[in-house]
Structure 1
C-alpha cells in the first residue's frame, strides 16, 4: 500500500490530503485543530495523535504549516518527522518559509537518512483542492524521481528549480513579489473604476479579455465585484507573510523592489483594518478613502 502523510490540514493541507486519498495513497495526518482532524477523518484519512505518528506511518510526508519555526519543529523537533520516519523516507516541505530557514533545515537533516524536497506551491485554495498546484521543487534528482508519483497526486505542474534546500523558496519569493504587485494594481484599478462610475461587470469583461487578463487579476476582480472579502481561501495573512519574505530576500541581496514595496504597504493597510479578511479586502480600504464601491 502506498503511504503518505500531511502535517497541517487547513485550506491547503486538506486539499493535499484529499488528492492523495483520491489517488490511492493511504494518507495519515495531524493538525492541532479538532475540527480539521474531524474533516480529514470524514474524507477517508487516518488521523494521528502526533507528528511522530504520521512519520512512523508514511514514506513521504507533506509539511504545510504557516511559518519557518513551525516547519523546523515539525521536521526536527523531539517528536518530529526526522526522529520517527524510516530511513529513506522523504519530507516534502510544501509550506512557504524563508529560503534561509529551508536551507538551515536541509543542513540540519544531513546524515539523518531522511530526504528533503523543498517545494513551495502556487495555486492557492482552488489549486490545492483540485490537485492542480504548481510546485517549485528543489532536491536531489533521484529523490525527486522517487517521489514523482506522490507529488503528481497533488500537482498538475512540477518544476525542478534546483538541488538545494532553499532553492524552491527563493523561486517562490520571486513569484510572490510579482503576484502581490498584480493584486495591488488590480485593487487600485477597481477603486478607480468605482469612483468613476464604471460597472464591475464591464471592468471584468474588459480585463479578462485583454492582455492584462490572467487568473490572478480575474479571480481578484470577481471577488471584489461580488463583495466576497472573507472565506474565499486566500487569507490576507498569507500574502502579507509571503511579501515580507520576498522583501527580506531583496534586502539581503541589495535588490530594489519599488513595486513590491508599494504592494506591501497596501497589504499592510488591508491586514491592519481587516485582519480576518482575504486578499481582496485591501480594495475596501481604498474604496473607503475615495467613497465608492465597485459592484457587479
Structure 2
C-alpha cells in the first residue's frame, strides 16, 4: 500500500450539491478533478468550473488518489462508494493506498461501516465533516473536524488544506469527526430555531425584521446563525405570488432535520438529556409535514409567522 499521496493528487468529488459543487470548484482551481452527481445540470456546472464530469462514481474515482464524498446521508454514502442504482461504486475503481474523505454528516455508525469495507480493499478513510456553508466552501475557508489515523490523514492533507482555513484533528478514530460535527449541529439547529422564533415574534409585534436583525446582531443575542439565517428569514416575506423574490437556497430544511435526528439519537446512546435540541428537532419535523422539506431552512420562520401577516 502506498503511504504517500502526490503533491498534486488526482481528486474525485462525489456529490455536487450545495457543498460538493463549491468544493469541487475550489479543488479544480489547482488540482485535476473528476466530479459525479446524479443530476446532469450539476455535472455541467462542475465542468464549467474546470472539473471533468463523470457518469458514475466508479468513473470519477478511476485513477483518483483522493475521493471527496459530499452526500446527504448514510444511504447515499453507501451507494456512492459501493454501488447501487446510480451505477458502479467508487470503491471498486480505487487502487490500494487511495483515501476517501467523507465530508458529510452521516453519523458515527455510517462512517465506521464504510471505513471497515474500504479497509478490506486497502483504501483508507478520513472522517472529515465540514462546517461553514457554500460560500466558504468555494473559497477554501471551511472548518473541518477530523477523525483519522495520522498516516491516513497525511495522505488526504493536500486536498484538505485546499478546503480548510481551520482543521481540527478531534481524535485518531473514525467517528471522532462525526461526533464533533454532531455537537456542532446541536448548536446550529438550536440557534437557527431560536432565530426563527425571535424574528417571528418581532414580525408579529410589528417590528421591521431588517432592523431587528441589526439590533440583535449588536448585542448579547448575536450568533453566527442569526447573522447568516436572519437576512434570509427576512427575505422569506418578500416572496412574490409567482414564488420569486425569496432567498437563495443554501441549506435545505430536510438536511438540518436529518442532522438533528442524528443529534438526538447519539445523545440517547450516550445517556445525555438534550431537551432543547429535541424540541428544535420537532420544529423541523413540523416544517417537513408542512411541505418545507426542499426549502431553505430559513423558511422555518414562516411556519411560526405566516407570510400573510
Match of 1:265 among 279, 282, 291: 282
* RMSD value, Cα: 1.8
SS of residue paired to 1:161: strand
User: Which runs of 5 or more structure 1 residues have no equivalent in the other structure?
Assistant: none
Match of 1:278 among 268, 285, 296: 296
Q: TM-score if structure 1 supplies the norm length?
A: 0.92
- Distance in 2 (alpha carbons) for counterparts of 1:211 and 1:241: 29
Matching of residues 1-296 of structure 1 within 5 Å: 1-22=8-29, 24-77=30-83, 79-227=88-236, 231-273=248-290, 274-288=292-306, 292=309
- Distance in 2 (alpha carbons) for counterparts of 1:110 and 1:28: 23
- Maintained 8 Å contact 1:29/1:45: yes
- Maintained 8 Å contact 1:138/1:163: yes
User: Residue 7 of structure 1: CA displacement?
Assistant: 0.4
- Maintained 8 Å contact 1:63/1:95: yes
Larger deviation, residues 146-155 vs 93-102: 146-155
Higher helix residue share: 1
- Distance in 2 (alpha carbons) for counterparts of 1:83 and 1:263: 40
Q: TM-score if structure 2 supplies the norm length?
A: 0.89
- Distance in 1 (alpha carbons) for counterparts of 2:284 and 2:128: 25
- Distance in 2 (alpha carbons) for counterparts of 1:233 and 1:217: 15
Note the alpha carbon deviations across 1:207-230, whole angstroms, 9 max, x for none: 111122232111111111222755
User: Residue 8 of structure 1: CA displacement?
Assistant: 0.6
- Maintained 8 Å contact 1:138/1:164: yes
- Distance in 2 (alpha carbons) for counterparts of 1:129 and 1:172: 20
User: Which runs of 5 or more structure 2 residues have no equivalent in the other structure?
Assistant: 1-7, 239-245
Where has structure 1 moved over 6 Å in runs of 4 or more?
none
